[in-house]
Each structure stands twice: as C-alpha cells, then as structure tokens.
DNA sequence: GTTTTAAATTTGTAGGACAATTACTGAGAA
DNA sequence: TTCTCAGTAATTGTCCTACAAATTTAAAAC
C-alpha cells in the first residue's frame, strides 16, 4: 500500500502523444526533440526525406507521416522543391503537450520559456485555486491535501516533485474548467525543468511544504479568497526563486 | 488606403495549420471538423481507411497522414485490427489552434467551451493588459488604440469583430509573454462564436467601444493598474452577456 | 543585361504488397 | 451451458515503386 501510494505521487514519466507506439511515433519524438532543442535554426532546412530515410532507417512513408504531425504542431512547414524548414518560434504551438515536453530541460535556452511559464502560472493558478475551493469534489479535496502533505524532502527529489505536480494538476482539474485544466502540461514542463536543475538549488522544502498545505486547507475549507491569496503568495515566492535561478544560468 | 486599413481589421478568415494546401490538409480539416462537431461520439470508431479512401476520393497515403495529424492533436487514437476511435474529450488538445477553430460555432455544445473560454479570458486578459501597459512598443500601442477606435457598428459586424480581435490579440502580443500570446487562438474562437450568434443579440456597441478605448488609453499611458482594472471591468460585463446568451441557447 | 525557356530537384499523391497485432469465431472440454 | 484455447480474419503499420506537381536553378535566346 505504501508502495502504491508512492507510485501515485511520482512524476508521470511520459505525457505521450496519442500516436501508437511504433516507428512513426519514434520518428516524431526524435525530430521533434531535435527541433525543440534548437539543432536546426529557425528557417533552416531539415534533411531531405530520403536522407532521413537513410539516417533513421525507416521508410519514406514513416518519415512523411512524422513530418506531417510536426507540421500540425507548427514546428515546420514544407514546400515542394524546397524541403521542410523550421518555422519561426512564434508559430510553434507552445501549449501543445508534446512541444512543451520536447524542450530540453538542460538547455539555458529553455530558461526563457521556463520564466514565461512561471509568469503565466502566477496569473492563472491563484484563480484556479479559488475555483477549486468552490467546485472540487470530496475526492479531489482529499487528493490535494494528501499531495500537499506528501511534499517533504525525505522521499527524495523525484517523488517530492511528483507530489508537487499532482497537487497543482489536481487543483486545475478541480477548477471545473477544461481549458484551464489543460494548462497542467505547462506545469509539467516547469516541473521537468525544475527537476533537472533542482540539484543546484538550495532546498527550501520545509517552507514549500507549509505553503502547499496552507493552500490545500484553504481549498478544503471552501474559502475561495483565502485559497487564491495563499496560492498567489506561494507562487510569488516561487517566481523569485525561479528568477534567481534563471539569472544564475545566464550568468555562467 | 482606406481599403487597406479596413482589411487590416478584418477577422482573419483562417488561422491555418502549417500544412501545405493540398489533399492532406483538406482531409485533416474535413475529419477534424466532423470529430469536433460531434459527428462521431467519444469512443466511436471512424470509418476504416479504405472506406475513407473511397468516400473522400483520396489515396490511402493521404488518409493515413491526415489521421496521424489528428492523433497528434489528441482527437483520435488508432490500433491495429481495431480502427481509429475518438478520444475522450479530456484528451483533446483544446488549446490547439486548429482544434479550437474546428468547433462548430452554431452548435449549442460549443456554448460550454465558449463559456469556459470566457472565464479563462477573465483570468488572464487583465494581467496581459497590465503587462502590455509596461512592455508594449510604440507600434503596438498605436495598433491597440486604432483597433479600439475602429470598433463601431457602422462598418457592420464583420469588421467590428475584426477590430475587436486585433485589439485583444495585440494586447496579448504586447505582453511580451509568448505563451500568453498564443492564447489569442482562444479569443479567436470566442470571436467566431460571437460572430455566429451576434445576429441574435441586441447591439451594445457604444458601450463596448467606450470600454475598449478606455483600456487602450490606459495601456498607452503606461498605467498598468488602470489597464488591468478597466480590462477586468470590461470582461466582467462581457461575461455577463455571454452567460445570458448561453443560458438562452440552452433554454430553447 | 533581361527575359524566356528548359531542366533538375524535392515534396505530394497514388497504389500494391506484406507484416504485425488483436478482435472475433468456433470447436472442444469441463 | 459455460469456459478455454487455438485458429482465422480483419485492420492498421511499414515498405516499396512510380509518377505528378511545383519551384528553384541553370541555360539559352534576345
């Protein structure tokens, strides 16, 4: 049971696209990551289809289907006689779960996205908490409370971050707004980044946990105003830490 | 010149996917709309590939590439020997520009999405306005002002809504947060819906215009607090109208 | 030098063949 | 009857070849 509970709060290792496992999926992941990692500059031409066929060891059918998927996410654009070129960053579907996930958590370039995501969280999560305080069902309130209490450093970083993700994701779900709920992909990206860089940051878990539990209790009690305020306070603190971290990354 | 200006504020007729024009794109659009319109229930099996080949008059290559794109957007999921079945609504990438656009503006089912989008706007647009007041460049401030002033009923609904969209989209862009900026797709969807149903609503354009200009001037003057407050007031009013409209739709 | 024409190249579409997987069928046993 | 298990059939997944369409590049004509 303990084991089960622990698994429950682990950071889901993959938020997969709905593509079936197979060559197409692998190719999409491979190319998607390369593009998101910046291996090809904006406007750069990807290798020709037959080159990809050779280098990836799959058929042209697979390569083409993969490229079409990436087009659908705004990463690339194809033209006859020209090739597939990488779209300007503005055109990327930044809120697509896959595109978010493909960003390299280790890259300093991702830091900007991370900072933007943190700003965005500061905007919508307090409101989500307020909505959750009103709309959450019994089950959700329990999960939020349990996740908040599970945030302690003794279990190691991985499960701590897992609980953290579950905490925030459940609040979004409990808001009752499906679009708001989908922004949990954004939180997932921040968590990934946070996990990749957490080894360098000083642990402030005790404070973090107290804050989380505070928010959870406010939601559980149904006090929307209190939940909003506490969530906001928590995220302001979070943003301060994030900004410091990003600054230090660019300083290197 | 007048003509050019008018075009500038017209609602862009298509926020296209990055797929090149052609059979694949058409097929994606066709199937995507059918699914988003609810022609296939959740879990329902789509016609087999060879049936689609026949009914759509394209090759299996095209059908397969289109289906893969839809998988990438979370609409469907495929399996050998089983077929392509429609994913539960929760799995759809609701923030994907295409998925948003494919919703049927005429359908009462869309009304719920519309209401959620309106709620979401109320959350992030006041903050976007505050950010824009600080970060917008000269050009953006001018565009926002011009768009706000172009919102008058004499030009007809289409261009009025076009200016409205330009107003909100530019504010998001001017916020300086790329993720925030991408939420303009959501506003686009609301505008489409609004346009489709606007014939039934009594015109309150004079008030609307005064509000928009107020926000624009606040942004132009660089007063973040004022911009936030005015945008919020405007959207609260907007939400009240939206709720009334949705209620009337379900009442029928 | 400029314009027009031709050629080469790259993606787009079509269609056939087989592989892999899994739902379904039916026979046999409990 | 009901359950198990093997076999069969059906559907998508992958590979392949051929040709069409478009567009850049190069050549040619003026």
Confidence of residue A3 (pLDDT cuts 50, 70, 90): very low
- How far apart CA A43 and CA A58 sit, in angstroms, is 25
Both structure tokens of B139: 């050009």
Sort out which chain A residues have CB atoms less than 8 A from B124's CB and list them: 120, 123-124
Confidence of residue B110 (pLDDT cuts 50, 70, 90): confident
- How far apart CA B215 and CA B230 sit, in angstroms, is 6
Residue A35: other Cβ atoms inside 10 A:
23
Higher pLDDT, residue B8 or B207: B207
What are A37-77's pLDDT values in tens digits?
999 999 999 999 999 999 999 999 999 999 999 999 999 99
For residue B155, the model assigns a pLDDT of 54
The most confident of the ranges A141-155, A196-210, B230-244 is: B230-244
- How far apart CA B183 and CA B51 sit, in angstroms, is 37
For residue A71, the model assigns a pLDDT of 97
Of the listed ranges A59-63, A160-164, B227-231, the one predicted with least confidence: A160-164
User: What is each CA distance from A103 to A93, A99, A110, A189, in whole angstroms?
Assistant: 12, 7, 7, 8
Choose the mutation target among A63, A72, A125, A132 for the interface with B, i.e. most B CBs under 10 Å: A72
| Closest CA of chain B from A212, distance in Å | 22
Q: Is the pLDDT of residue A142 over 70?
A: yes
Confidence of residue B72 (pLDDT cuts 50, 70, 90): very high
Determine contact: A21 vs chain B, CB below 8 A.
Answer: no
Is residue A192 within 8 Å of A105, Cβ to Cβ?
yes
Q: Look over chain B and give the mean of its residue pLDDT values, rounded to a whole number.
A: 87
For residue A2, the model assigns a pLDDT of 38
Choose the mutation target among A25, A80, A170, A179 for the interface with B, i.e. most B CBs under 10 Å: A179
- How far apart CA A114 and CA A195 sit, in angstroms, is 12
Residue A126: other Cβ atoms inside 10 A:
22
Both structure tokens of A39: 């291996």
List residues bridging with A130 in a β-sheet: none
Q: Quick check: A120 and B89 CB within 8 A?
A: no
Residue B86: other Cβ atoms inside 10 A:
22
Nearest to B159 by CA among B10, B12, B14: B10
Q: Look over chain A and give the mean of its residue pLDDT values, rounded to a whole number.
A: 87
Both structure tokens of B214: 């107020």
Count Cβ–Cβ pairs < 8 Å, chain A vs chain B: 134
Q: Is the pLDDT of residue B229 over 70?
A: yes
- How far apart CA A205 and CA A198 sit, in angstroms, is 11
For residue B8, the model assigns a pLDDT of 58
For residue B224, the model assigns a pLDDT of 97
Q: CA at B30, C1' at D11: how many angstroms apart?
A: 22
| B201 CB-near residues (< 8 Å, 6+ apart) | B241, B245
With a pLDDT cut of 90, the percent of chain B lying above it is 63
Mean pLDDT of B181-187: 91
For residue A5, the model assigns a pLDDT of 40
Mean pLDDT of B147-152: 86
For residue B14, the model assigns a pLDDT of 53
Determine contact: A177 vs chain B, CB below 8 A.
Answer: yes
Domains of chain A: residue spans and CATH: 23-91 (1.10.10.10), 103-251 (1.20.120.530)
Nucleotide whose C1' lies closest to the alpha carbon of residue B82 = D11
What are A74-88's pLDDT values in tens digits?
999 999 999 999 999
Mean pLDDT of B95-121: 88
| A251 CB-near residues (< 8 Å, 6+ apart) | none
Q: Quick check: B18 and A116 CB within 8 A?
A: no
Mean pLDDT of B209-223: 93
Higher pLDDT, residue B213 or B249: B213
> For the CA atoms of chain A, what is the radius of gyration?
20
For residue B156, the model assigns a pLDDT of 60
Higher pLDDT, residue A113 or B172: B172
Sort out which chain A residues have CB atoms less than 8 A from B28's CB and list them: 72
For residue A199, the model assigns a pLDDT of 55
Mean pLDDT of B150-163: 70
Mean pLDDT of B211-236: 96
Confidence of residue B197 (pLDDT cuts 50, 70, 90): confident
Q: Chain D: nucleotides under 7 Å from a protein CB?
A: 9-17, 20-24
Sort out which chain B residues have CB atoms less than 8 A from A117's CB and list them: 179
Q: Quick check: B28 and A72 CB within 8 A?
A: yes
Q: Quick check: A18 and B74 CB within 8 A?
A: yes
Sort out which chain B residues have CB atoms less than 8 A from A181's CB and list them: 90
Is residue A20 within 8 Å of A5, Cβ to Cβ?
no
Of the listed ranges B118-127, B171-180, B183-192, B204-213, the one predicted with least confidence: B204-213
Confidence of residue A17 (pLDDT cuts 50, 70, 90): confident
Q: Is the pLDDT of residue B28 over 90?
A: yes
Confidence of residue B252 (pLDDT cuts 50, 70, 90): low
For residue B109, the model assigns a pLDDT of 73
Q: Is the pLDDT of residue B208 over 90?
A: no
Residue A16: other Cβ atoms inside 10 A:
14
With a pLDDT cut of 90, the percent of chain A lying above it is 63
Confidence of residue A244 (pLDDT cuts 50, 70, 90): confident
For residue B6, the model assigns a pLDDT of 44
For residue B7, the model assigns a pLDDT of 45
What are B121-147's pLDDT values in tens digits?
999 999 999 999 999 999 999 999 999
């Amino acid at each position: 049971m303990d084991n089960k509970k622990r698994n429950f709060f682990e950071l889901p290792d993959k938020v997969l696209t709905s593509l079936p496992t197979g060559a197409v999926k692998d190719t999409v992941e491979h190319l998607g990551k390369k593009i998101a990692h910046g291996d090809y500059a904006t406007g750069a031409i990807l290798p020709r289809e037959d080159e990809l066929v050779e280098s990836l060891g799959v058929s042209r059918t697979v390569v083409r289907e993969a490229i079409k998927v990436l087009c659908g996410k705004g990463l690339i654009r194809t033209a006859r006689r020209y090739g597939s070129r990488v779209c300007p960053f503005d055109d990327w579907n930044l809120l697509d779960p896959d595109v978010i996930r493909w960003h390299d958590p280790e890259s300093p370039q991702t830091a900007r996205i991370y900072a933007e995501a943190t700003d965005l969280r500061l905007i919508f999560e307090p409101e989500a908490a307020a909505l959750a305080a009103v709309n959450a069902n019994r089950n959700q309130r329990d999960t939020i409370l349990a996740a908040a209490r599970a945030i302690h450093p003794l279990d190691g970083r991985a499960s701590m971050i897992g609980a953290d993700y579950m905490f925030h994701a459940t609040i979004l779900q409990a808001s009752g707004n499906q679009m708001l709920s989908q922004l949990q992909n954004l939180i997932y990206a921040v968590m990934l980044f946070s996990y990749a860089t957490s080894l360098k940051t000083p642990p402030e878990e005790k404070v973090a946990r107290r804050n989380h539990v505070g928010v959870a209790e406010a939601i559980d009690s149904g006090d929307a105003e209190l939940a909003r305020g506490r969530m906001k306070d928590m995220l302001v603190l979070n943003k301060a830490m994030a900004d410091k971290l990003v600054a230090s990354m660019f300083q290197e």
